[in-house]
Amino acid sequence: MLVLLFAVFYHRWLPEARWTLVHVVALGLITNSILIWSQHFTEALLKHRLPDTARPAQLRRIRTLNLGVVVLIAGMMLTPYPAVHIPAVLGGAVLVGGAVAWHATSLGRQLRAALPARFAVTVRWYITAAWLLPVGAVLGAVLGVADLGAAAHARVQLAHEAVNVLGFVGLTVTGTLLTLWPTILRTRVPESSLPRLRVALGLLLAGVLGTAASSLVGWRPTAAAGLGAYALGVLVLLGWLVTVARTRAPRDYAGLSVLVGICWLLVGAVWTGVLMLRADWAGLDLTPVTPVFVAGFLVQVLLGAMTYLLPATMGGGPAPVRAGNRELTRLSWLRVTVVQLCLILFVLPPALTGSWVRAIASILGVLALAAFLPLMIRAVRAQVAARREMITARAAAADRRRPGGTEPGAGPGSEAGSAPWARPGSGPAARADPSSGASYHAAGSPPSPRRDHGVAPAHPRREILAGAGLTALGVAAGLALDPSGLQRALHGLGREPAGTGHTTRVAVKATAAMRFEPAEITVSAGDRLILEVTNADDTTVHDLVLDGGATSGRLDPGASASVDAGVITQDVDGWCSIVGHRQMGMTLRIRADGASSPGEESSGRGDSSADGQGAGTEPALDLQAAPGKDHRTRSAVLDPAAVDGLEPNGTGGVIHRMTLTVTEQTLEVAPGVALRAWTYNGDFMGPTLRGRVGDTFEVTLINRASMGHSVDFHAGDIAPDQPMRTIAPGESLEYRFTAHGAGIWLYHCSTAPMSSHIAAGMFGAVVVDPSELPTVDREFLLVHSETYLKTTGRKDDAGRQLTEVDPARVPTGVPTLAMFNGHATQYAAEPLEARTGQRVRIWTLAAGPSLGMSFHVVGGQFTTVYKEGAYRLLEERDAFGHTGGRAQALDLASAQGGFVELTFTEPGTYIFVNHSFAQMERGARGLIRVE
């Protein structure tokens, strides 16, 4: 739980943050709990306690599971490094799946060795569920390491989630509730209702197997039918829970949290089925339903069960158990109310709530769930204190009754002695535990609330109102921080002008030509307009945003969505909000025919400030400040071309292999300024490749971003159609070329608009050594680029201004920052280092996207100048053999490169700059410290 809270509050700094959060819950919390408690219940229900000699094997299983979880999460965080990522993910999946398979085998041996027991059916479901997880682990490993297309990825992901969440967890929970639910409520289950639970279990298993198998083979109708069967099983389960609760309704956190958790499981199953029916495999996105399964189902059922089981397992007698329950069930209704309302707010469309409301709702919800931790600590302390107080009181009473010692019948094991109450798991608390064989079926009345219940809330209505009020305050705070969210909310609630009552529906396509078709729509003023938007671009994500925030959301290739534009009373503008697409002409105009005047009425929405990408102002810069504490200065040292250990290519060269993984990161580009960067391998400016003429480069491009990207290597002279094509999220391609010419070559994303992609960090260098390149003492690489930024009006978690690329500013040619190697001041804070008398070579490249540079070292003179594949000077000798020449600058247009060589004769601090001073003053400078 502590690891989960750390991941929640520091997720912005975690690679693969969403995946990590989900799997810390599913594997770290849930799977560990299942291995521990299913073993506990199996021994109790079978009345077959394992000997102490079997405990080390159980501990080894748990350690194996947790080792696998750690290795797996570490492997996913190291995705940009395939040599480590792939073995770690595969090894972690094997350890996790193996540990649970080992657990299933152990439960099977215990079932065969035990005498027939009434509730052995629960153990059989534990075993069935446990054997599903190794299958899910294999599917998860495939998702982690295989380069799947969008459709294949969606099919495997659905099967993975069906087997693990719906199967492994869902079946285990359902089997446990057969005994745990009546025990939590301190009531008896009607015998006539038990067959319904068996029906529910059968429907759940059939649904899991049908959904998983159908999704793997690509049968959407049968996969949807499998989800329908599963939802029906959950509905039957809920009916059984309600039947049992009729005799005693849930009154505290344990019962309430378990009940709402099962309700969310039903919501998740139905929602997943709806998502399947609305999109084909390539367009299926299960992201929206993830919080429902994780926070709604998994976490709430776990915390509800733990609220009951921890005090009962500690035992110690009725009074100590009541003391523990009293703490763990504090503010039960308030906590449950806050979690449900916040989860509803979080899963609503972002266009309706806005980012601030979602952020505050997530924080409130997490805090309400995390309240379990301090309450658990209080419960343990209270229960231990109550046990000690009871033992002391009984010892004092015994001394008063019999001064000479312990009277007969008051020794260990008797009702008057203290030992049974001091031993965990004994006494009435244990007899109310489901592990005691479901004592609620015994004849007579159920256990008295006074003996077994904690203190129920005195005023549940007040707590419900307080929880709703607290959530409402959070919503109000979010709307205050994002006032346009109120307009979106009112629009979503239907607060709009009265219309004609007529509804017009128009189909709109987003095309690869960066256009909406049709680009202009005319409707009668007062009509409601529904837009059916389809992304007809095979490679790139698009969306449609209308004035005021109505949006389709991001649409993968082939996906569709309906956008309710509301009652149209005046002209409305629309656009694609993907960076740069609006500037390339991806706009839509809705004309209101017969409107009284353009400004007389609004269409109920208002303005969204530019293109919805942020506040739009230029960030404040302090280029005299040092980089932030968490900024990692990129080494400018250029390593020699690798030869040893590389595979020959058959033509005298070697093969260099590299994986470029496209991700979206928040990175510092100047002191106090963070950019939502698009990156190759996680850095603003991708990795540098180096080889010799005749070498072959094999590059695997993997797109793990949210939109289409590509790569164009200038060092290769090949047809661009296939290797430079844009690939959709989740896809990959192989790019192979042989370097036929020497020089320093640019590579960059070639997806339109290229200027925005390069300005966002998607570029790098390939150095191909000229023949007989002399050895030098120091060799550096400096890649110059510029970027064009606008603020979003927010700050990142480090307090820096959060910015994004401003495509509208690129044509002005006036950048926000000019940088070397992706940061404006990093080499002013951490200078390059050299010594007097050493020969220093500096490779340099102008990456653009639009501007070149004039590279100059203040206080230095270049004795060798190499530009675009040819020497201009070679050790002070020009192309005509004249000697004694030197150079003061290397002029490079955008996408040109070369190197200079110089020797420092005196110690001191030298400055390298772009001698186009307007760019130097925007950050294109650094220091060389010479000793």
Residue list for the binding site: 709, 714, 748-749, 757, 762, 915
Amino acid at 481: L
Q: Are 875 and 839 in contact (CB under 8 A)?
A: no
Query: For residue 859, with 0-12 CB atoms within 10 Å meaning exposed, 13-18 middle and 19 or more buried, which class applies?
Result: middle
Residue bearing tokens 């909000």:
577
Length of the chain in residues, anyone? 931
- Rounded Cα distance between 763 and 757, Å, is 8
Residues 6+ apart with CB under 8 A from 567: 496, 497, 498, 499, 526, 527, 528, 603, 604
Q: Are 511 and 505 in contact (CB under 8 A)?
A: no
- Rounded Cα distance between 462 and 458, Å, is 9
With H, G, I as helix, E, B as strand and everything else as coil, classify residue 736.
Answer: strand
Q: What residues form the annotated binding site for Cu cation?
A: 709, 714, 748-749, 757, 762, 915
Residue among 621, 340, 551, 374 nearest 463 (CA): 340
- Rounded Cα distance between 314 and 421, Å, is 10
Stretch (H or E) spanning 926: strand 925-930
Q: Are 832 and 929 in contact (CB under 8 A)?
A: yes
Which residues in 587-609 are b (16+ Cβ under 10 Å) and which e? bbebebeebeeeeeebbbbbebe
What distance, in Å, lies between the first and last C-alpha atoms of the chain?
52
Q: How far is CA 462 from CA 90, 325, 332, 457, 778, in A?
A: 51, 20, 11, 10, 73
* Other Cβ atoms closer than 10 A to 642: 13
Residues 6+ apart with CB under 8 A from 140: 93, 160, 164
What DSSP assignment string belongs to 341-384? HHHHHHHS-HHHH-HHHHHHHHHHHHHHHHTHHHHHHHHHHHHH
- Rounded Cα distance between 47 and 437, Å, is 8
Residues 6+ apart with CB under 8 A from 621: 670, 671, 672, 673, 816, 817, 824
What is the Cα 191 distance to its own chain's centre?
45
Amino acid at 324: G
Residues 6+ apart with CB under 8 A from 229: 203, 206, 207, 210
